[in-house]
Amino acid sequence: MIWTSVVAVPLLAGAAIAVPMAASGAVDLPDKTPRELIAFAGASDVEALSGTIEQKSELGLPDIGALTGPMEGAGDGPSSAQIEDLVSLVTGSHTAKVYLDGDSARLQVLDRLGERNVYVDGAAGEVWYVDSESQSATKLVLPDEEELRDTYGEGAEKPEAGDALPTPDEMLDEALARLDESTEVTVGTDARVAGREVYELVLTPRTDDTLVGDVRFAIDGETGVALSASVTARGATEPAFQVAFTQVDFSAPDASVFAFEPAAGLEVTEKDVPLPIDREQGELSTPQEETAPRVVGEGWSAVVELANPGMDAEQQAMLDSVTTAVDGGRVVQTSLVSVMITDDGRILVGAVPTQRLVDVAGR
């Protein structure tokens, strides 16, 4: 479905940088330079925690209800229900509970009519996704360490359980891994988040060719764990996408919260997660050249170009209803992300102004 690429890609990208800190008086932590604060956060060794996180977003998306309805010819791609789930998870407001202890992790998303759970058992190499509303569960079996070493060498390791949780700390790790000279790093105002004293780390793009104004992280003054993260659009005063702990406990959760056994009547699907390798050739597999995404530019002004996914007349009409015509195609721009569908069917996505996409499309 065309809307999978138009909506899912930018929303997932936006979710990687996600609650502003509540203003608070009488907080005066020992001074740290930006370099010292980054080192402090990077050295955090917390392996266990539990808490409640809240996500809020104001992305300015158009009404896409018609585009997530039933579609013919969807094949093996995501269903309309799956796309609605994806969109709902990264828009509006949501509350979730998170639990982490070494190789075990759990995310419990609390909905009005039910809940969704992700259970991660790193030791067993299993991930469960459980939806109480649809009474379904999917078990993903991950490659074991021996298979990873055989494929990628002795240094290969499985991802940590916490990598599966959309917490501020995981978002901070992703942001710090991409820091370069295109970003100004400063220390903001000390405050409180979830009742704890925190530092504020501020990342500001040095280019005007982006929709992002700044990204802010609240770093716990005792543990170095990020307790909140927010991204604010250029020229705005309130975050467009934000996530923060409202309550956090750094003691190990009870082991029972990580246990999951499918109940009777639950529809269970099991899938192996394959390694991206062509075993006959003994080398990593790569997407076909004609379908592989292409990245134009770097840093905050980077644009991702995706191949033509194909659309029928009905899909094209629906797309036209929520996009605006520009030179060379049609665009939709949210507060943080712009998407362009070119006249020849390519999809361009970036946290950039519309004109940047038009310029890239014309090259």
Give the pLDDT confidence of 135-175 residue by residue, as tens digits: 899 998 876 666 555 554 555 455 555 555 668 988 898 88
Domain contains 121: no
What is the chain's mean pLDDT, rounded?
A: 79
The Cα–Cα gap between 24 and 66 comes to 43
> Is 269:139 a contact under the CB 8 Å cutoff?
yes
Domain contains 349: yes
Domain contains 236: no
pLDDT digits (tens, 9 = 90+) for 76-95: 444 444 445 545 555 568 89
CATH number reported for the structural domain that contains residue 336 in this entry: 3.30.310
Domain span including residue 292:
284-361
Domain contains 239: no
**Does residue 283 or residue 273 have the better pLDDT?**
273
* Number of domains forming the structure of the chain: 1
Domain contains 253: no
Domain contains 181: no
pTM over 0.85: no
Domain contains 323: yes
Residue 245 carries which side chain, given as an amino acid letter? F
Binning pLDDT at 50, 70 and 90, where does residue 48 land? very high
Domain contains 322: yes
Confidence (pLDDT) at 83: 46
Binning pLDDT at 50, 70 and 90, where does residue 207 land? very high
Confidence (pLDDT) at 54: 94
Binning pLDDT at 50, 70 and 90, where does residue 304 land? very high
Confidence (pLDDT) at 13: 38
